[in-house]
Amino acid sequence: MNSNLDKIMKPKAIAVIGASTKEHTIGSDLMKRLQEYKFNGKIYPVNPKGGIIEGLQAYTSVLEIPGEVDLAIIVVNAKFVLDTIDQCHQKGIKGLCIITAGFKETGAEGAEAEKQLLAKVREYGMRCVGPNCLGVVNTHPDIRMDGCFAESLPERGNIGFVSQSGALGGGILNILKDLNLGFAQFISIGNQADVNAETAMEYWENEDDVEQILLYMESIQNPSNFRNLASRISKKKPILALKAGRSAAGASAASSHTGSLAGADKAANALLQQSGVIREYSLKNLFATAKVFANCPIPKGDRVAIITNSGGPGIMATDAVCEYGMQMAKISDATKEKLRSFLPSAASVKNPIDMIASAPIEHYKQTLETVIADENVDMIMVIYLPFLGLKDIDVAKAVMEIKAQYPQKPVIGVFMTKNEFFSKLSDMNVNMPFFMYAEEAADGFNRLNQQRLWMERPQGKVPCYDVDKAKVEKIIKSALSEGRDQLTTLESIDVLQAYGIRACKYGLATNEEEVVTLGNSIGYPVVMKMTSKTTSHKTDVGGVRVNIQSEEQLREEYRDLIAKLTEKGLIDGLEGVIIQEMVKGNREMVCGIATDPQYGPMMMFGLGGVFVEALKDVTFRIAPLTDQDAKEMVKSVKAYKLLQGARGTKPADMEQIEETLLRLSQLVNDFKFIDELDINPLLISEKTGEGIAVDGRIKVRLNEAKESLGCQCAACSC
């Protein structure tokens, strides 16, 4: 099915249905662009009035066209689109690009029309871009198709670009020359009824012409399919994404733009991270990074050398490199010796290499050539500031000359000069990126390094542990039989233990004597927690008593709790109290699950206890987790330093914590109706370093759970 995109992206003949002689209409502009860009195949204008359009014979119907047609670009009124698709089918056309708007982005009626449109496309074995889109472009010399109505003709390059916004895509096509970038192919997906970002990525996976993929997205329709494809394709070529709709208002605007549901941004971020997609937060950064990937190979490591003619910018560049966690390359003695042979004695041959302000063009060339050859160097930043009449464009040409001779390492130019320099570059065929500031170059190196690390990262496996699934089913059915969507603390801990998650030793007591018996058998100190079917936040009502040292104290605390609950009218929901071993440890983590309506279950890990809301040192990933995801989650929070054993504390058992996350991921995969799960705190034992669940809270989606477990009603005796 995928190869059918060839009919859209590599057509031999195009029918423009809705072609027009009326100036500044889409039907007229499309015809002009196809001809101006010198499309290599046949163009057939279709207009009910016939006649001549842009010097070509127009046909009153697509069925009148004498030759075969691969692609129909449709720009007729929305009410005629479905009939037009029928006619295209009769004609044997397999590729459609529907520019026409007026479908699901307009509301219920439009959504119904789009549903019918897709049904026809599927039934007829077609592929369709749009509706409500700008069109498609392929700049390959054998094809030369500008099938969209942007004002400027596209620039040739190595980028495959997918845009969910037509106008934005058009705006970008207009400024490609200024950006010093070019597209290999461009698809404006619009409402993405059929072809979406995933389809485009899969199509471009093995297209040699497309060396990097750029995405502008407002929504991700099928997150799990996106993850499968992107994590595979990003191992071969970089995928950069600008995912809009980060704020609640932006997400709402995004869903009304193309009628697509947008998930929470935390979930989108987690998904992109797990898929190896480089996320950018602005168009400026998206194209700056694209410029780097367009002109730089993936480096072998993260060791950066800086060549400059001025000390200050060299120091700032060093700071920027180090802030990204990359290394300043250790220049070899042989390289230093060679540099000293031609640089003045005032120059510094340590990294950053400062050639001083009087450096002529020849020094730029020789220094770069010498540093590129050093095996300790993976990437090179060349900084230029205008001194002593040295011309910026001449230095750039000299540096590019050396780069052409040694293409194996990334080189980025930082030219702190006038804007005219960058305008001149846009008319030249450059082979390396140039920026105004060192921070932009460091950012580019960081992105190259990020791609290198992703390509080197092991694939990751989703482990399967031996667990007691039947026990969990029984616990949840019992709650459902009482019409509860919230498990008690006791039930929650039982669920965790059934899945092999280390929890405190505990027991349930319903009267004072049972409380004392349990306390004595577990051994002091103990913790006492109420468990109630009506109150889930225990601390708010004084339902948690810690560090109970003796039987006498335990009796006192129990009596006090009962008195307070009676006073507040909360005694009726009380199931009893949980007596738990008191685990000593002052490092409290949190792990859990939250469900996003679009992306599904999200795993959370981070600093817990009372800090979880205040410091928000947490990270998210979409379930199911791979072993690599779990490792990265633990390492990516700031509290990782605490886990490593700061200030003489026992290092945490990282593997056991990772396993806890993986077991939770398996739990939510087995019981997909779990809506929320919290282990807060996951206490790090001072004795063993393991993470121990001292509290748990689980909530399910009631109706979904009943359906899944075959429970018929709230009062069922499951």
Q: Which domains does the chain have, with CATH numbers?
A: 2-293 (3.40.50.261), 297-456 (3.40.50.261), 469-581 (3.30.1490.20), 587-709 (3.30.470.20)
What pLDDT is stored for residue 72 in this prediction?
98
pLDDT given for residue 542 in this prediction:
82
Alpha helices by DSSP H, 161-277: 166-179, 197-204, 223-233, 248-258, 265-274
pLDDT score for 586: 85
pTM summary value:
0.89
Query: How much is the pLDDT for 77?
Result: 97
Q: Are strands 56-57 and 52-53 parallel, antiparallel or unpaired?
A: antiparallel
Assign residue 243 a region: left if phi > 0, alpha if psi is -120 to 50, beta otherwise? beta
Residue 682's H or E segment, with its range, is strand 674-684
Each residue's pLDDT tens digit, 642-658: 999 877 789 999 999 99
Closest CA to 148 of 259, 283, 224, 39: 39
Residue numbers in the chain where pLDDT is lower than 50? 1-2, 256-262, 713-718
Identify which of 325, 274, 232 has the alpha carbon closest to the alpha carbon of residue 665. Answer: 274
Alpha-carbon distance of 135 to 305, in angstroms, equals 43
Q: What is the pLDDT of residue 268?
A: 92
Question: What are the pLDDT digits (tens) for 197-226?
Answer: 999 999 999 999 999 999 999 888 899 999
DSSP β-bridge partners for residue 497: none
Residue 553 φ then ψ, to 5°: -65, -35
Q: For the chain, percent helix, then strand, then coil, each to nearest 5?
A: 40, 20, 35
Q: What is the pLDDT of residue 591?
A: 94
pLDDT for res 536: 63
CB 224 within 8 A of CB 27: no
Rounded to the nearest angstrom, the gap between the alpha carbon of residue 263 and the centroid of all alpha carbons in its chain is 12
